[in-house]
Amino acid sequence: MNDGQVAFERFIHLDSTKRGELCMAQRILIIEDEQPIAELLEYALKQEGYETGIALTGGDGIRLAETERPDMVLIDWMLPDCSGIDLCRMFTRKYRMPILMLTARSRTDDKVQGLEAGADDYITKPFEMREVLMRIKAVLRRVERCSGQEKPLSLPGGLCIRPQEMSVTLNGRPVELTPREFELLLYLLHRPGRVLTRAMLLEELWGYEYAGDSRTVDTHIQRLRKKLGSTVNIETVFGVGYKYVP
C-alpha cells in the first residue's frame, strides 16, 4: 500500500467514526505530497474543529473529492502525478468547491495563474499557520454568506442568479463561476452605480488585508466579464476600481 492509499484509508476511517458526532464540522481535503506539511496542516485544522483528509497525490485527491465532497480543498501546486493548477481547474469546473492553492512559487505571475485557474486564494510556502487558518476561515465564511441568502435575481439579457444554490444561468444555460467570482458578482450587483475601489473589494471580499496586489481583483473582474458577456456591465474606473452600471 502506498502513502496515498494510507491517507485515503485514514480519511474514510475518520469519516465513518466521527461523522455522527461532528456532523456540523466543515470538511477540508488537503492535497499535498509533502507528508510533513500535510500532517502539520491536518493537525492545525483539527485543532480548529475541522474534519480533514489527506491525499498525497492528485489521483487520490480526485478520488477523495468525488467520494467525500469536502467543503474546501487545499491544493499544492507541484504534485507527483499532476499539476496542482490542472487539478484546480478541474475541481472548479466539476465541483465548484472553494480552493486554496499552496505553493513555493511566489512570483506575481504564478499567483495570477493560480487565481485564473479558479483558486479562491493563494498562499506561498513557507507559510505561517495562523495565516493559512485565517484565509481558510475567510473563504468558508464567504461561501456561507453567499449560499445562505436571498431570492433569485433576474437581469435583462437573460441572466438569472440563484444565491441559495450559488448558480448562475444565462438564457437557461449554466454559467460556471467560482465561489469568489460569485460573491464578487453579487457584491457588484448590490451596489449599482457606485465606484468600488480595488482596496475596498479586496477588504470586503477577501476578508482581510490582502498581501497580494490589486491584480487579484482585476483577474476576477476579467473572468466575470468573459463569462457573463454584456449582460452585466462592469465599467473600469481608471486608476480607481470598478463600477456596475445597470
Binding site for Ca ion (CB under 5 A): 33, 76, 78
The answer to whether the CB of 198 falls within 8 A of the CB of 212 is: no
Smaller CB separation from Ca ion, 30 or 186: 30
Length of the chain: 246
Smaller CB separation from Ca ion, 89 or 96: 89
Shortest reach from residue 34's CB to Ca ion, in Å: 5
Smaller CB separation from Ca ion, 56 or 185: 56
Shortest reach from residue 110's CB to Ca ion, in Å: 14
Shortest reach from residue 127's CB to Ca ion, in Å: 13
For the CA atoms of 134, 140, 145, 146, the dihedral, rounded to the nearest 10 degrees, stands at: 130
Smaller CB separation from Ca ion, 28 or 168: 28
What span, in angstroms and rounded, lies between the C-alpha atoms of 119 and 3?
26
The pair phi, psi for residue 160, each rounded to 5°, is -125, 130
The pair phi, psi for residue 27, each rounded to 5°, is -115, 125
Closest-approach residue to Ca ion (CB)? 78
Number of C-alpha atoms within 13 angstroms, CB side, residue 199? Answer: 2
Shortest reach from residue 79's CB to Ca ion, in Å: 6
